[in-house]
Amino acid sequence: MKKMVLSMLCMIPVFGICTLSAGDGDGKDAAAGVQRIAFLGIGNDNLHSNYFSDETIAQRMNVPEDSINEAFNRIFFETLSRASLKDGKTNMVYCCPEEGQAIRESVKYTMSGDEMESDLSAVPQGELNGFLKKTSTAYVMLVDQYYIKREGYPYHNVSHIINYSVYDGSKKVVFRGRHRFSSLDMDDLGRYSKQFSKIAGKLLAKMN
């Protein structure tokens, strides 16, 4: 079953995946002036829970345990990409792990309560400049965390907390967002696409 799910994920039509399409060098599509955002997704260990193990998360979400982050990134990006294509003003560019690895390794994270925020201050400016030029993007988007919180009495449900940030080429925060929703239990990851669409709507409204 896990092999089947992984195969299905690999067939998802991810626009821009691992392809560094040429822009005009300033992060905009030359033809239409569309803003381009490099999607780096969620970092290692930032999809976590106060209650569920990685094995349980994978089983409930119906994804392979050794690629939970990859599965989330692909489905989340697919939702963002479809929304941006419909919007017509923003182009989300998927970046393979190895493409943004140097940046990911330099990102710092701080946790306060249930919230987690990323910080690009330790990312070498030259590294970021080179990455943006190579991907023809002007912004970088990180999913700071996906926190799955098992609530106790009197709720006995599951809260899903997603923090995300968008940075410009000078490492300044353009937008930070937080999306929280609840479910009776954990479910197939694909069933949360409507919630991811709400994040896409907030993001595009802010960027436009």
pLDDT digits (tens, 9 = 90+) for 148-181: 999 988 888 999 999 999 999 999 999 999 999 9
CATH classification of the domain holding 7: 3.40.50
What average pLDDT score do residues 114-137 get?
A: 96
| pLDDT at residue 120, rounded to an integer | 98
Higher model confidence: residue 57 or residue 21? 57
| pLDDT at residue 98, rounded to an integer | 83
C-beta neighbour count of 2 within 10 angstroms? 14
What average pLDDT score do residues 20-47 get?
A: 72
Query: Does residue 66 lie within any of the structural domains?
Result: yes
Does position 57 have pLDDT exceeding 50, yes or no? yes
Does position 5 have pLDDT exceeding 80, yes or no? no
Does position 18 have pLDDT exceeding 60, yes or no? no
Query: Does residue 164 lie within any of the structural domains?
Result: yes
Q: How far is CA 196 from CA 7, 47, 68, 178, 185, in A?
A: 22, 15, 16, 11, 17
Residue 40 in contact with residue 104, Cβ under 8 Å?
yes
What average pLDDT score do residues 42-47 get?
A: 91
Q: Count up the domains in the chain and report the number.
A: 1
Question: What percentage of the chain exceeds 70 in pLDDT?
Answer: 85
Query: Does residue 25 lie within any of the structural domains?
Result: no
Query: Does residue 92 lie within any of the structural domains?
Result: yes
Bridge-partner residues for 8, per DSSP? none
Instruction: Give the chain's mean pLDDT.
Output: 87
Query: Does residue 6 lie within any of the structural domains?
Result: yes
| pLDDT at residue 208, rounded to an integer | 83
| pLDDT at residue 72, rounded to an integer | 95
Domain span at 190: 2-14+31-207
C-beta neighbour count of 7 within 10 angstroms? 9
Query: Does residue 22 lie within any of the structural domains?
Result: no
Higher model confidence: residue 119 or residue 100? 119
Query: Does residue 41 lie within any of the structural domains?
Result: yes
pTM of the model: 0.86
Query: Does residue 20 lie within any of the structural domains?
Result: no
Does position 31 have pLDDT exceeding 90, yes or no? no
Q: How far is CA 195 from CA 85, 157, 199, in A?
A: 18, 17, 7
